[in-house]
Structure 1
Amino acid sequence: MPSPQAQEAVTVRVFTQRFSATRRGARLARRLATQQLDAWGIPYGSGPSDATALVVAELAANAVLHGRVPGRDFALRLAYNSAKDLVRVEVTDTHNALPARAPRDAAGDGETGRGLVLVDAIAVRWGVSGRSGPGKTVWAYVPASRERA
């Protein structure tokens, strides 16, 4: 019989990759994210896969458009915790400027400015963390099942 303090083992699967800070790099980040999710049992084309892909796409686009430093890449890290039923998406760039937290209705009719509004609507929670060296990491927790989505 397990002791009262014993906890169930938790498996966290992690995927990390660096990409060129270009539109092509952002597109590749989204595509590789959906492939990795599928390998982890979150099927391609499912609601959780599509939601995670959208968050990756928006954060990667922001890293390319607003966080780009010439000659520097951005990094994507996915961590899937099946016990918590969440995927943590992290996009790290080397630019020190922090993203602006726009209110949900701030996008208006402009062609830009909706990325973090979408992330805020999809993610359970999101934020920004510092890192060692220049730059920051923008992270978001996305539900990994339809029940939580």
Structure 2
Amino acid sequence: MAPAYQNREVAALTSLQSWEFLAVLAYGDGVERVAVEIESRESNVGEARRFVRRQLAFWGLPEDDGLVDRVLLVISELVTNAVVHGRTRPSEETESVGVTLAFRRGFALGVMVTDNSGDIPKVRIRPSAFADCGRGLVLVNAESDAWTAAPRSGQQGVDGKAVWAFFQCPQPAALSELMPQPV
């Protein structure tokens, strides 16, 4: 049986709100960050997934506990939403989607996807079983530990939005554990 203090820690961590994750991952000490911009095209969703998968492996997050699969599903949904619903320019013009990861070991991983639309996404309460769309944020809500969205503002006012999803993280494996061992 686990010591009682571990149970309280888990209970406290699972009750965190999105703003608490955001405060630590956006402004806290000891947070590792990496970002990439991809062209806003549906064919580039896979590029975002590959970027995230490589970075999670670099940070030592184990694929066998389901966390990596959850993160990849969420990043696929958020980037797809940004490409499909977040474009503000005609399709013949180039536009980018930003993907940022913020990781604090032993605490949490945050993924942020930015686009140029100021429209804040809303979860559809009951998407139709026959609908071609409308399930993305339902999946994000189900697979992440918390998520939030907010307008991004620059010198000329609103420049789009950022959508964050947060995942509690176990302590990653030591690098030596990830290296191939001699037979």
1:120-131 aligned at under 5 Å gives the runs 120-131=141-152
Which position in structure 2 is the counterpart of 1:52? 71
Give the fraction of aligned pairs with identical amino acids, expressed as a percent.
33
Pairs aligned (count): 136
Q: Is the 8 A contact 2:106 2:170 kept in 1?
A: no
Instruction: Confirm or deny: 8 A CA contact 1:14 1:80 kept in the other structure.
Output: yes
Alpha-carbon RMSD across the aligned residues, in angstroms, is 2.0
The runs of at least 4 aligned residues of structure 1 exceeding 6 Å deviation read none
Match of 1:142 among 146, 155, 167: 167
The aligned runs of 1:88-99 (5 Å cut-off) are 88-99=110-121
Task: Judge conservation of contact 2:120–2:151 (CA < 8 Å) in 1.
Answer: no
Residues 95-140 of structure 1: per-residue CA shift (max 9 Å, x gap): 112212222x434221211110000001111111121231000111
TM-score normalized by the length of structure 2: 0.68
- Structure 1 residues 1-149: aligned runs within 5 Å: 11-44=30-63, 46-70=65-89, 71-84=94-107, 86-103=108-125, 105-133=126-154, 134-145=159-170
User: If the length of structure 1 is used for normalisation, what is the TM-score?
Assistant: 0.83
The structure whose residues are more often helix, as a share, is 2
8 A Cα contact 2:111 2:166, kept in partner: yes
**The structure with more radius of gyration:** 2
For structure 2, the residue ranges without an aligned partner over 5 or more in a row are 1-27, 172-183
Preserved contact between residue 120 and residue 150 of structure 2 (Cα < 8 Å): no
Aligned-partner Cα distance in 2 for 1:25–1:45: 26
